């Protein structure tokens, strides 16, 4: 049986050749990630191009079989993968965190294996007929963030492989080991060259994005980097799927049974300690249920166990890196300086480790405060009071981002009416950030374009070809 150490051993390199990767909670070194060069990137793209025709030639049934074998192997090594992820990313094993993320990797891989993209008949008149067929694009470059490193890599890799593409994946410099561990499992089942990880930062990413040997970039990360990817695509005309930053609003309508929804609201906000693209990041609450909502969230924030991820029972962890910790601290300090009321948390949780920040609920704050207007990507939620639903909708829609949004109400018609007016790629009702591998997911406005998952996700990594007669 393979142990956790053996996956780690397989992916780490000797001290002299690698970059030390810290445990996010304790700052101890977990292992050493290879430092890949531009020459390594060239080899990876060449290998991917060389391997692509044979991989494509295997056909859908065989590629689906391989993806199922990979999903089974992810399940078989789930705990080892979760430990690596928990240490490197910081998210606890328990709760909607590391074990949950590894489980989702298997679920999304199987979904990519089982989803079918049939040719579409788009015109028929007498003997005339036009069909759209979907084939492989070629080589996909997958560039990912550090918050859900394994799951987001699977979102990019599995549909690409299913459609007959080969993939070069570039993990975030903050979480290379998680992605290398995942790729190690994939590569126990894939022919050489079909999937290669190239670790490194900006230069590797920008060279991959502009590479003439790349046909498609699947990018998940911040909006500023997304804009650079768009510029790079002017060189190779790579197709793009851009999953960028969010500043999702939630609106709690009058008459809502807040106690019944409090835990779902809490996890919509604090999932992965707030480091989630489609987490609820600004909560607009009607005056009539405002105090009750603030108190319910504050109670949960004060009592949810936070700490080192490997300690069972913890469900909140540290910020993954110093930069993100500094952003959260700055936004909370700014809110405090403006006279907002810190109802729970508000300070670093230094007793737990250098990157822990207390789960924080901030009341009596308005649009214009940085904590409302900027993406915090951490455990601090501004709760904004409103008295007019139209006004709440227009404030929610005022953000430049449009990834997700949510409406909270026990009146289904009222909730639907508001949902139809919110500008976002997904609007949830009485939940936030809940994803399903069959349901398309993607952003609007500066949260990016393109959709992942299900049939839409397969189309995103396919070349459409019209056959007309």
Rounded to the nearest whole angstrom, what is the least distance from the CB of residue 152 to ligand NAD in the complex? 6
Rounded to the nearest whole angstrom, what is the least distance from the CB of residue 439 to ligand NAD in the complex? 14
Answer yes or no whether residue 243 interacts with ligand NAD by CB under 6 A: yes
Answer yes or no whether residue 245 interacts with ligand NAD by CB under 6 A: yes
Angle between helices 202-210 and 38-57 (to 10 degrees): 50
Q: Of 220 and 409, which CB lies nearer to ligand NAD in the complex structure?
A: 220
Instruction: Specify whether 105 is catalytic.
Output: no
Instruction: Specify whether 277 is catalytic.
Output: yes
Rounded to the nearest whole angstrom, what is the least distance from the CB of residue 385 to ligand NAD in the complex? 26
Answer yes or no whether residue 306 interacts with ligand NAD by CB under 6 A: no
In the bound complex, which residue of the shown chain has the CB atom lying closest to ligand NAD? 205
> What track of x and - describes contact with ligand NAD for positions 110 through 139 (by CB under 6 A)?
------------------------------
Answer yes or no whether residue 209 interacts with ligand NAD by CB under 6 A: yes
Answer yes or no whether residue 172 interacts with ligand NAD by CB under 6 A: yes
Answer yes or no whether residue 405 interacts with ligand NAD by CB under 6 A: no
The piece of 18-26, 39-47, 120-128, 214-222 that touches ligand NAD (CB under 6 A) is: 214-222
CB-based contact 246:447 (threshold 8 Å) = yes
Answer yes or no whether residue 277 interacts with ligand NAD by CB under 6 A: yes
Answer yes or no whether residue 244 interacts with ligand NAD by CB under 6 A: yes
Answer yes or no whether residue 173 interacts with ligand NAD by CB under 6 A: yes
Q: Residues touching ligand NAD: how many (CB under 6 A)? A: 30
The piece of 15-23, 51-59, 219-227, 381-389 that touches ligand NAD (CB under 6 A) is: 219-227
The binder of ligand NAD chosen from 193, 213, 246, 382 (CB under 6 A): 246
Answer yes or no whether residue 274 interacts with ligand NAD by CB under 6 A: no
Answer yes or no whether residue 221 interacts with ligand NAD by CB under 6 A: yes
The binder of ligand NAD chosen from 49, 189, 228, 299 (CB under 6 A): 228
Catalytic residue annotation = 243, 277
Residues that bind ligand NAD (CB under 6 A): 143-147, 152, 170, 172-173, 201-202, 205-206, 209, 220-222, 225, 228-229, 243-246, 277, 375, 377, 403, 443, 447
């Amino acid at each position: 049986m393979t142990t956790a150490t053996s996956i780690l051993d397989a992916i780490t390199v000797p001290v002299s050749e690698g970059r030390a990767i810290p445990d996010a909670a304790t700052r101890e070194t977990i292992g050493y990630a290879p430092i890949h060069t531009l020459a390594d990137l060239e080899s990876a793209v060449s290998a991917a191009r060389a391997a692509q025709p044979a991989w494509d030639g295997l056909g859908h049934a065989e590629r689906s079989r391989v993806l199922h074998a990979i999903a089974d192997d992810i399940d078989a090594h789930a705990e080892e993968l979760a430990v690596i992820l928990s240490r490197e990313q910081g998210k606890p094993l328990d709760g909607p965190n590391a074990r949950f993320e590894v489980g989702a990797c298997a679920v999304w891989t199987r979904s990519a294996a089982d989803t079918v993209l049939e040719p579409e008949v788009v015109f028929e008149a007498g003997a005339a007929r036009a069909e759209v067929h979907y084939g492989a694009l070629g080589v996909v470059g997958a560039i990912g963030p550090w918050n859900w490193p394994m799951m987001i890599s699977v979102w990019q890799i599995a549909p690409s492989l299913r459609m007959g593409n080969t993939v070069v994946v570039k993990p975030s410099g903050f979480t290379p080991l998680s992605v290398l561990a995942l790729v190690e499992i994939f590569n126990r089942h894939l022919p050489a060259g079909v999937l290669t990880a190239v670790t490194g930062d900006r230069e590797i990413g920008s060279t991959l994005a502009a590479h003439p040997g790349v046909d498609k970039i699947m990018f998940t990360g911040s909006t500023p980097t997304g804009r650079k990817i768009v510029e790079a695509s002017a060189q190779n005309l790579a197709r793009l799927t851009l999953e960028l930053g969010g500043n999702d609003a939630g609106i709690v309508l009058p008459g809502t049974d807040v106690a019944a929804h409090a835990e779902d609201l809490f996890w919509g906000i604090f999932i992965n300690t707030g480091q989630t693209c489609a987490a609820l990041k600004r909560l607009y609450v009607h005056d009539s249920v405002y105090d009750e909502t603030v108190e319910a969230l504050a109670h949960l924030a004060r009592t949810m166990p936070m700490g080192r991820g490997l300690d069972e029972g913890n469900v909140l962890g540290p910020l993954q890196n110093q930069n993100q910790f500094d952003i959260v601290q700055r936004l909370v300090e700014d809110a405090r300086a403006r006279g907002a009321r810190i109802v729970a948390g508000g300070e670093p949780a230094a007793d737990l480790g250098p990157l822990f920040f207390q789960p924080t609920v901030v009341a009596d704050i308005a649009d214009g405060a940085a904590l409302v207007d900027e993406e915090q990507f951490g455990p601090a939620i501004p709760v904004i009071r409103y008295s007019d639903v139209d006004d709440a909708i227009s404030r929610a829609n005022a953000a430049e981002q449009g990834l997700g949004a949510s409406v909270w109400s026990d009146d289904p018609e009222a909730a639907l009416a508001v949902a139809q007016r919110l500008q976002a790629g997904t609007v949830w009702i009485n939940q936030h950030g809940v994803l399903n591998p069959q349901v398309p997911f993607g952003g609007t406005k500066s949260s990016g374009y393109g959709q992942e998952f299900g049939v839409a996700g397969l189309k995103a990594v396919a070349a459409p070809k019209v056959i007309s007669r």
